[in-house]
Structure 1
């Protein structure tokens, strides 16, 4: 019987192909508008580390000026950064599973056989080897640098797949060298394609931009005194003793994001206790003269506080849903017009014994086919809209403008279910005719 209904539905679609195509087109446009806005909003607000987001925290220590005035302690918010000396101290204490400092600088990049005039400015991410395991970065060639490099500050580097294509034509470049400024670095690993969105571990203003292409040990940046003042935010309640980089490292200036990964959620309170003890020790040395309000903040909490998520995107999704509802109402009107031309056919089928349930199943299947085709059309149009958006907003990561398998399936299911729901009224209206009255008019 199902095959029979499919044949009837296909025959009906062909007989009313103009109305059917118009209904499919309207549904496709509505689905495309909705899924384009929803996909962008979903990719911008999704949990980038769903398996460990409750165990990866940003460490915030209350290293503000002792003269800062607050009405009450509840209003005090520690900086989002910590100082170099606190970064090195916390790593040395080794109280977390993994420690991930996030810093950086920019330097002129070239290959050893290139002239200095051919060098190009490149953004470099200074971090630890734990960065790659904490944020689940895949490697195409090689691996992260050894633990000894974090301790001694060896001149080693991990580069992205894109940078490897530019510098080494995509070949396995492990063991090759490159020049950053005046220093030679050895490539130890090449990252594969990496999709971490939003990129919460650094500056919230760049949460939806592509990751940097070059990674070096944080201790290497410290040893070589590599510093770019206009590259990232930093705050100093107490100025360094002099203008040297080493004085900046030893100062109370905060500019390093410091993330930790714990073994379990239960360790959060224990690590906070450790931070409180650490601050008390530093207070005895004359530092941290504000009340202790240390924090461990998840990536989502950090981005929400920094307002990386715009409420405009949510409003756009709701507007798109309203537009979809309007499109479905128009499609329902077209389907109703289709079925009104079938009153004689309905009467004849009822007269020869077809039940109301048989007719509902037949026309529901026809409406479902319209929904499926409309969903596929909407999916194609959604990909086209996302591609156009990626070309217009080139400063954003192209990963935002892409659909995963779950979203693609949701698109077709949404179109089918919506079409069936909005097609129920035309269906019941069509089968509500009186057979005797219609047969007399034949």
Structure 2
């Protein structure tokens, strides 16, 4: 019986091709606009470390100038999201967490040892510690991270991103090969597999949707080589520090390092915060940390929200797109009412020969489902086109932000069918109220 109603619905659509096309096109445009904005916002808001984000915490200390606040956020004085060298190394040496890592930054000219110097390219580097890879579930294509001993010695070893390995060694197994970084020779001990945490939560929000850096090497190695650049990342200082002198920066109150810890369970958060407060009190007694103590540990989701990685403008855009979809659906509903009203004679005749109101409702409901499904399919194609155009316009964002996964594709079709069905209920109700006698008189 259901197949019969769908056949009637298809005949009805063929009899009124213009109205049917306008309804489908209206729904398709509204669905496409909504899903383009929702897809980008959804991809930006995903959990970058599923299963671990509740146990990963970034540590912030009230170590700023006692005579001048760091900044004002939401009308209140705030503390730095970065840490000084002496605090990061002190906490790292204590090893009070299950795992901990220091995350820094640098950039230098990089080339393979067999390549001529003219082929060296400026590359953004990531000095860090060996725990970084296990804490963030970083996958390896070849080799493995360096060891704790390499960290302590500042060994000249390097892990390449998959993309950088393709640039330097054509994607081959490069373990044991040499890479020249800023004039120093490093040995490749690992190559990452495809890895793109979105958002890239562990650094500044300006880097949240770009690719991970091309090379990773021991943080102590950058210190040993006297590598520091105040222009590659954010460095905030007070007290008149010469940023050219790394020893001066290390001994200063300049904040520039990210510090992340992994706890064995989220419930240990308060215990670890107590340790941080105790450390801050010790530093206060030594003459540092003279401002109000607002030390904190923030998990991944909290830091993403605090760091405004997902801009409020994106959420507003989703709501505006949803409002546009509703406007499109209202227009489609108006067209449905016009169409169903024009079929009054047919409805009256069917009622006269024994069709019930339920039969009429089923026929028209099947028609709205077909229109919704058609609008969804075309809307999906338009959304894919819109995402492609968005990727070209916002080329600084990673292309994976503009890719619909299967669940989003199904959501697109489902949203179109469901919304069309809901907004078609009133026109269907009005059509079912048509009196056979009044229509038959006009035949």
Which stretch shifts more, 176-185 or 348-357? Answer: 348-357
Matched residue, 1:57 = 57
CA drift at 1:307: 3.8
**TM-aligned CA distance change 1:132 to 1:9, over 3 Å:** farther
Q: Secondary structure at the match of 1:344?
A: helix
Of 140-149 and 378-387, the range deviating more from structure 2: 140-149
Question: How far apart, in 2, do the equivalents of 1:351 and 1:69 lie?
Answer: 82
Identify the residue that residue 17 of structure 2 maps to in structure 1.
Answer: 17
User: Does the 8 Å contact 1:371/1:419 carry over to 2?
Assistant: yes
Where does residue 80 of structure 1 map in the other structure? 81
Superposition deviation, residue 94 in structure 1: 1.1
- How far is 1:410 from its partner? 1.6
Partner SS for 1:58: strand
C-alpha displacement at 1:215, in angstroms?
Answer: 1.4
Deviation at 1:289, TM superposition (A): 3.3
* Corresponding residue of 1:208: 209
Map of 2:353 onto structure 1: 352
Cα separation, 1, equivalents of 2:176 and 2:151: 18
- Preserved CA contact (<8 Å) 2:26 2:329: yes
Worse-superposed segment, 377-386 or 391-400: 391-400
Displacement of 1:353 after TM fit? 2.4
- Worse-matched range after superposition: 260-269 or 164-173: 164-173
1:422 corresponds to which residue? Answer: 423
Matches within 5 A, 1:396-407: 396-407=397-408
Structure 1 range deviating more: 291-300 or 33-42:
291-300
Q: Give the distance between the partners of 1:130 and 1:69, measured in 2 at CA.
A: 33
Cα separation, 1, equivalents of 2:194 and 2:33: 29
Deviation, 1:263, is 1.2
Corresponding position of 1:30: 30
CA displacement 1:222-270 (0-9 Å, x = unmatched)? 2222111211111222345895323322332221011111111211111
Partner residue of 2:260?
259
What's the counterpart of residue 230 of structure 2? 229
* Whole-Å separation in 1 of the counterparts to 2:18 and 2:96: 69
Instruction: Find the counterpart in structure 2 of residue 142 from structure 1.
Output: 143
Q: Is the 8 A contact 2:154 2:224 kept in 1?
A: yes
Going from structure 1 to structure 2, the CA distance change for 1:69 and 1:440 (only over 3 Å counts) comes to: closer
Secondary structure at the aligned position of 1:190 is classed as strand
Which stretch of structure 1 is more off in the superposition, 159-168 or 260-269?
159-168
Give, in whole Å, the separation in 1 of the partners of 2:374 and 2:134. 43
Q: How does 1:208-357 map to 2 (within 5 A)?
A: 208-239=209-240, 244-357=245-358
69 and 339 in structure 1: CA distance in 2 versus 1, 3 angstrom threshold: closer
Q: Following the alignment from structure 1 to structure 2, what is the Cα–Cα distance between the partners of residues 312 and 75?
A: 22
Instruction: Tell me the C-alpha RMSD between the 2 structures.
Output: 2.3
Alignment partner, residue 96 of structure 1? 97
- Count residues with an aligned counterpart: 439
Report the equivalent of 2:381: 380
For residues 65-111 of structure 1, the C-alpha deviation after alignment (integer angstroms, 9 at most, x for no partner) is: 233379xxx95533211112222221221111221221110010111
CA distance in 2, matches of 1:367, 1:239: 70
Give TM-score, length-normalised by structure 1: 0.92
Contact 1:76/1:293 (8 A) holds in 2: no
Question: In the alignment, which residue of structure 1 is the partner of 2:189?
Answer: 188
Partner residue of 1:370?
Answer: 371
| Gaps in structure 1 of 5+ consecutive residues | none
Instruction: Tell me how far apart the structure 1 counterparts of residues 95 and 218 of structure 2 sit (CA, whole Å).
Output: 17
- Which runs of 5 or more structure 2 residues have no equivalent in the other structure? none
Change (3 A) 1:3 1:108: same
1:239–1:251: 8 Å Cα contact kept in structure 2? no
Question: For residues 8 and 75 of structure 1, do their structure 2 counterparts lie closer, same or farther at Cα, with a shift above 3 Å needed?
Answer: closer
Q: Which moved more, 1:422-431 or 1:104-113?
A: 422-431
Q: Determine the structure 1 residue equivalent to 2:173.
A: 172
1:68 aligns to what? 68
How far has the Cα of 1:375 moved from its partner? 0.9
Aligned residues of 1:53 and 1:298 also touching (Cα < 8 A):
yes
Q: Secondary structure at the match of 1:266?
A: helix
Distance 2:179 2:21 in 1: 59
User: Aligned equivalents of 2:68 and 2:329: distance in 1?
Assistant: 58
Report if aligned partners of 2:58, 2:258 keep a CA contact under 8 Å in 1: yes
1:241/1:251 contact within 8 Å kept: no
Q: 1: distance between equivalents of 2:424 and 2:138?
A: 47
Aligned match of 2:122: 121
Tell me the residue number matched to 2:160: 159
